[in-house]
A and B are shown apart, each in its own frame.
Chain A
Amino acid sequence: MAKKYEPRIIGFLCNWCTYTGADLAGTSRLQYPPTHRTIRVMCSSRVDPLFIIKAVLRGADGILVGGCHPGDCHYQKGNYYTRRRFALLKKIFDTYGLDSERIRLSWISASEGPRFQQVITEYTKKLSYKGPNKIRKEVFL
């Protein structure tokens, strides 16, 4: 039997909100697809666009950047910077015909375990529908 395709999502989760939210989802025993790989960062604004580009080029099917809701950043305004950077990166992806739906920015607070579950489930579904990231098989990068 052929193995069912399962997307792989790299998640850059902010230590204070989304990472804790993911933790809550775990301790609350909420079920979600095992497609997510966590990289903990101290703030979502630590995520250099290079991290995301590199992950996409190395063949990750989806990249999730998770941070606190605007106004709730542990460092006051980090996530506002994240948003601008992310908007710029998305723009560049669109301008060059790359699939900008493979990168996603979500605000998930420490108390939103169910939302984390929902985001991962929904994103996994979307990526499964899209199929694997073709850059994974590209030789001449």
Chain B
Amino acid sequence: MSKVEIHKTLIPATRDFLRKNLKAKKIDAVFTLGKAGKGISYLLITDPDKMDEAMPFYPLMPENAGALLSKLTFSDKLPDKVAVAIRPCELHAFVELAKRAQGAPDNMIFISPVCDGVVKFDHYKNIDDDEFLLELPNVVEPHMIRPTCKICVNFMPMNSDITITSCEKKTAFYANTETGRELASEIGKLYEGDYDEAECIPELKKRQIERRKSFEKLGTMNYDIEGLIDKFGRCIGCHGCSHVCPICFCALCAFESKENELNPENFQDELEKRGGMRIPTDTVFFHLGRMSHMAFSCVSCGMCTDTCPADIPVSMLFARAGDAAQTLFEYVPGRSYDEEIPLSSFVEDELTEVED
């Protein structure tokens, strides 16, 4: 593996990297975070002069880029080469979508960092000052980071062409593929140097411990129906969590249709049984149902918590279910394009313990 280093912090270094490659026409466009008005948003840039607006890997996830890339490519692959600068969980989400024929990774060159997590939306949405907005990446403190990011164990990108590590004022670009090598060679002389995953092991261990601890603290094993009602009681039924979820791609979501709504006569039935009922109905049903549909592919990006107007820790609860489901099927979302999705594959001789 070869690497190239730039003596700058992550954002300017990546911006230079992308700008130079765009100028040299090694790539036709760049997909990256950038400044848009008073906020940060994903941008698709083709003009090298417009690269000043780019803020690759700004510590914020306005939308999961996996879902955005799927919107760009679900009918056809990209015609030109695009360098895609996204975080690991976004890349993993896109891999999951591509596996479900919701996007095409052709002509995309993935550039992804070893990720430290992103800032909660709360710490960003009220910023009105341009300078402070640009300053934010330098003043991120642990309490500002999304809780799911702190317990994320897949913070090293899988399937990226270029992996970026950054510490202090040095940013290193490691090329994992031939295409990645070509881009990296534009910046300077390539050194032979392996990206040392061992470097990340202390961090990984720390996060694994943190993960176990927070799952224990969550204590979902003792929830039962009371616990679930307790947790999801505040849900206003906006379904925002499923709208921002990169894995929830179904155009005809079962929960958006009338199919699962109660008819007047059902209300009567239910009332006779219970003597009262919550309206809107089926809150727990929605969340449990969504879990049973997508938990095994949950990349724990944390979009759902960030978007929840009622501050329910949705992403932690889903990460917990995801953890259980992924352990069951020994599946890691985003690990490979070829690995089959657990529910659309099987082994003849397995899981006999669930049969009675």
Contact = CB atoms under 8 A, between A and B. Distances in A.
Interface of A: 48-50, 53-54, 57-59, 70-71, 77, 80-81, 83-92, 94-99, 104-107, 119, 134-141
Nearest to A134: B225
B254 A138 contact: no
A91 B292 CA distance: 9
Nearest to B285: A57
A87 B324 CA distance: 11
Interface residues of B, number: 48
Given A92-B321, A136-B274, A141 B221 contact: no
In order of increasing CB-CB distance, the 5 nearest A-B pairs are: A49-B292, A80-B346, A97-B224, A97-B223, A139-B276
Contact of B273 (A48, A53, A59, A85): A59
Nearest to B292: A49
B292 A58 contact: no
B288 A135 contact: no
Contacts, number: 129
A141 B351 contact: no
Contact of A95 (B229, B278, B324): B324
A95 B355 CA distance: 19
A86 to B, nearest CB: 6
Contact of B343 (A59, A81, A94, A97): A81
B198 interface: no
B228 interface: yes
Given A53-B292, A89-B292, A141 B284 contact: yes
B354 A140 contact: no
Contacts of B348: 70-71, 80
B354 to A, nearest CB: 5
A49 B289 contact: yes
Contacts of B288: 53, 57, 92, 96
Given A53-B292, A84-B345, 4 more contacts: A54-B260, A58-B270, A95-B320, A96-B224
A88 B227 contact: no
B220 interface: yes
B229 A140 contact: yes
A96 B276 contact: no
Interface string B291-335: 111011000000000000000000000001100110011000000
B159 interface: no
